[in-house]
Amino acid sequence: MAPEAWPQNKVLKGIAASPGIIIAPAHVLADRNRVQVFYRYLGSRHQVAEEQERFREAIIRTQQELSRSKEAIPEDFREHAYIVDTHLLILQDRLLLDETLRLIQEETINAEWALKQAVKEAQKLFGQIADSYIRSRVQDIEDVSERIMRHLTGTNPSSFTNFKEPVIIVAQNLSPVDTTQMSLERVQGFITEMGGKTSHIAIMAQSLRIPAVVGLENAVREIDTGYTLVLDGLSGTVIINPDVETMSIYLGRKKQFENFKAEINRSSFLPAVTLDDYPTRILANIEFQDELDLVLDYGADGIGLYRTEFLYLRQHYLPTEEELFEDYKTVAHIMKPKPVTIRTLDIGGDKFASYSQYVHEMNPALGLRAIRFSLKEQQVFRSQLRAILRASAFGAVRIMFPLISGVQEVLAARQMLEEIKAELRQEGLTFDSQIPVGVMIEVPAAVMLADLLAQEADFFSIGTNDLIQYALAIDRGNKYVAEMYQPLHPAVLRMVKHVVDTAHAADIPVAMCGEMAGDPLYTPILLGLGVDELSMNVTSIPVVKRIVRMATLEEAKEFANQVLQLGSIDAVTSLVTNFMARRFPEVFMFGRELVNSNY
């Protein structure tokens, strides 16, 4: 029986970061003694050198501490050693090291205060980055600076005890390096006040398959060590000292979730065939070669979208044809005989390489991006086409052009492809002369011209991320209009139907590779509309496959027809949610949370 003063059944809401339900006692890590720093001028110039020296020593001690942590990482945790490496690199980074030394010198302030200012500056810089994942990486700088700060001030880092019982760790913040120092066999869950869906702790918890809730304000104040907690990493809910009834509800939910997870993972390798024997294909979207292990693990039927921007963005110069060729060849070879759809460069828009001259567009989403960029910068395009064609000798490679808005662009791109084929023949290099060429349907103009484009393409792939943005005039990255970014908008659904019907009349298949394809809520509609292939983030594959295998084509068609009769998003949404809750209750309950994480 809990003491009187303990809160009972108190519900806290945070961000669901790693799926799963756990009931266990809390272990609160005190607020890690966040170091307080007070402003202080240095009395004299010679103190500047002393202060800089003190800072350099703190850096060396932090380096030694991190290197020791890295060595102590247990074997089955080795894949996370890169996080320690990242922290070691940050120690040398200009933003922290040079900037702190400069501030000590120029403002004659003490090392702690200078470091604090340098971190603030870095936070400001990162705050301006559009990409939420990269923006959130400022967390690494904060973690490292806190370590340095402890060495500067001589504060002891909180030590992580070897827990004797299973516990849920509650902390203000947890760096992955902290987690490497815990006895993880006893850690059942994580709750942190800081962090978002893409924070390291979220990613790490997912890969360890430990449920987690992050961004839960005041967790450390509300929860005491020893409290019993329900942690629901599917909905982001934490319940403090649940009563018997709540406990039994969550135990039931936990069991149901675990059965569901086991079932979808088991069936992930089975073919994506409906109950009435209609075969469809579920493929994966990738951005890096490293994802191929997961692609194979999740039973994908191939790669439906290989986004190729990474090799162009990661360095300060253009990749060579050889670099591209080696990369594409490896992917084609590993996936063989399954298809690999390589999308040509979609640079521009919000993705510009630092060496590009086109960084100052007023309206980049409507600017020189994707195929427009490639047709303008022909040398860049040629070298990519050569690399793709050469890689086609090593597997089932398809090529696909992004952001096509008219027939001329396809003809120009195809002509260049033909020229390069002739070049390669002359050079005696082998390639697949019948390489399928696809057109991405991402612009409303392409929808309207689907009949003409179909004459010039071997397949279509609908990129709903952009199609929705351009059809509804909603910036896909703008949080103020995010609510209006609606795949179930009747205009979007009609566009999909038109593209599919037109392509089928011309006898070519249609894939979909935008995020819409991987959301299980839409699977029956897309099946019913006749989309032939769905390509998605790997983690969506088991759930989407499960729906396909539980559905019939006939019911999906009938359902899609009903949906197409409706004229408002609200009407469509309510029909879809009712249908899903009735027909696929477990997928409806757990599926969408699962697809957003590794599990």
Catalytic residue annotation: 200, 513
Of the chain, the end-to-end C-alpha distance in Å amounts to 35
The Cα 22–Cα 167 span in angstroms is: 10
Among ligand PEP, Mg ion, none, partner that 305 touches (CB below 5 to 8 angstroms by kind): ligand PEP
Q: What is the DSSP letter of 315?
A: S
Q: Which of 523, 524, 549 is nearest to 536 (CA)?
A: 523
The Cα 160–Cα 467 span in angstroms is: 49
Strand partners, 319: none
Main-chain dihedrals φ then ψ at residue 309, nearest 5 degrees: -70, -30
Of 112, 146, 466, 532, the one binding ligand PEP (CB under 6 A) is 466
3-state helix, strand, coil in the chain (%, to 5): 55, 15, 35
Contact 201, 17 (CB under 8 A): yes
Q: Should residue 532 be labelled a site residue for ligand PEP when binding is judged by CB under 6 A?
A: no
By beta-carbon proximity to ligand PEP, the closer residue of 145 and 537 is 537
| HSE-up (13 A, CA, CB side) for residue 551 | 34
Q: Should residue 519 be labelled a site residue for ligand PEP when binding is judged by CB under 6 A?
A: no
Contact 579, 524 (CB under 8 A): yes
Q: Should residue 463 be labelled a site residue for ligand PEP when binding is judged by CB under 6 A?
A: yes
Give the range of 55-63, 243-251, 461-469, 542-550 binding ligand PEP by CB under 6 A: 461-469
Among ligand PEP, Mg ion, none, partner that 513 touches (CB below 5 to 8 angstroms by kind): ligand PEP
Give the range of 169-177, 252-260, 426-434, 457-465 binding ligand PEP by CB under 6 A: 457-465
Among ligand PEP, Mg ion, none, partner that 182 touches (CB below 5 to 8 angstroms by kind): none
By beta-carbon proximity to Mg ion, the closer residue of 459 and 588 is 459
Of 99, 409, 466, 519, the one binding Mg ion (CB under 5 A) is 466
By beta-carbon proximity to Mg ion, the closer residue of 348 and 436 is 348
Q: Output the CA–CA distances (angstroms, integers) from residue 284 to 85, 99, 270, 291, 302, in the order listed.
A: 29, 43, 15, 10, 6
Q: How far is the CB of 413 from Mg ion (least distance, A)?
A: 16
Q: Should residue 514 be labelled a site residue for ligand PEP when binding is judged by CB under 6 A?
A: yes
By beta-carbon proximity to ligand PEP, the closer residue of 309 and 586 is 309
By beta-carbon proximity to Mg ion, the closer residue of 432 and 466 is 466
Contact 548, 272 (CB under 8 A): yes
Strand partners, 287: none
Q: How far is the CB of 486 from Mg ion (least distance, A)?
A: 17
Contact 316, 354 (CB under 8 A): yes
Question: CB count, 10 Å around CB of 314?
Answer: 10
Q: Should residue 346 be labelled a site residue for ligand PEP when binding is judged by CB under 6 A?
A: yes
Q: Which of 326, 293, 327, 298 is nearest to 310 (CA)?
A: 327
Q: How far is the CB of 480 from ligand PEP (least distance, A)?
A: 20
Residues 6+ apart with CB under 8 A from 334: 292, 296
Of 464, 502, 539, 597, the one binding ligand PEP (CB under 6 A) is 464
Among Mg ion, ligand PEP, none, partner that 514 touches (CB below 5 to 8 angstroms by kind): ligand PEP
Contact 166, 186 (CB under 8 A): yes
Among Mg ion, ligand PEP, none, partner that 464 touches (CB below 5 to 8 angstroms by kind): ligand PEP
Q: How far is the CB of 464 from Mg ion (least distance, A)?
A: 9
Helix (H) or strand (E) holding 17: strand 15-18
Contact 368, 361 (CB under 8 A): yes
Residues 6+ apart with CB under 8 A from 517: 464, 526, 531, 534, 535, 536, 544
Q: Should residue 442 be labelled a site residue for ligand PEP when binding is judged by CB under 6 A?
A: yes
Among ligand PEP, Mg ion, none, partner that 562 touches (CB below 5 to 8 angstroms by kind): none
Q: If you compute the radius of gyration of the chain from its CA atoms, what whole number of angstroms results?
A: 27
Among Mg ion, ligand PEP, none, partner that 193 touches (CB below 5 to 8 angstroms by kind): none
Q: Which of 274, 263, 136, 279 is nearest to 195 (CA)?
A: 136
Helix (H) or strand (E) holding 342: strand 339-343
Q: Should residue 513 be labelled a site residue for ligand PEP when binding is judged by CB under 6 A?
A: yes
Of 307, 414, 549, 557, the one binding ligand PEP (CB under 6 A) is 307
Q: Should residue 465 be labelled a site residue for ligand PEP when binding is judged by CB under 6 A?
A: yes
- Report which residue type is found at 512: M
Q: Should residue 302 be labelled a site residue for ligand PEP when binding is judged by CB under 6 A?
A: no
By beta-carbon proximity to ligand PEP, the closer residue of 271 and 444 is 444
Q: How far is the CB of 514 from Mg ion (least distance, A)?
A: 7
By beta-carbon proximity to Mg ion, the closer residue of 59 and 441 is 441
Binding-site size for ligand PEP (CB under 6 A) equals 10
By beta-carbon proximity to ligand PEP, the closer residue of 6 and 485 is 485
Residue nearest to Mg ion (CB): 466
| List of residues contacting ligand PEP (CB under 6 A) | 305, 307, 346, 442, 463-466, 513-514
Give contact residues for Mg ion (rule: CB under 5 A).
442, 463, 466
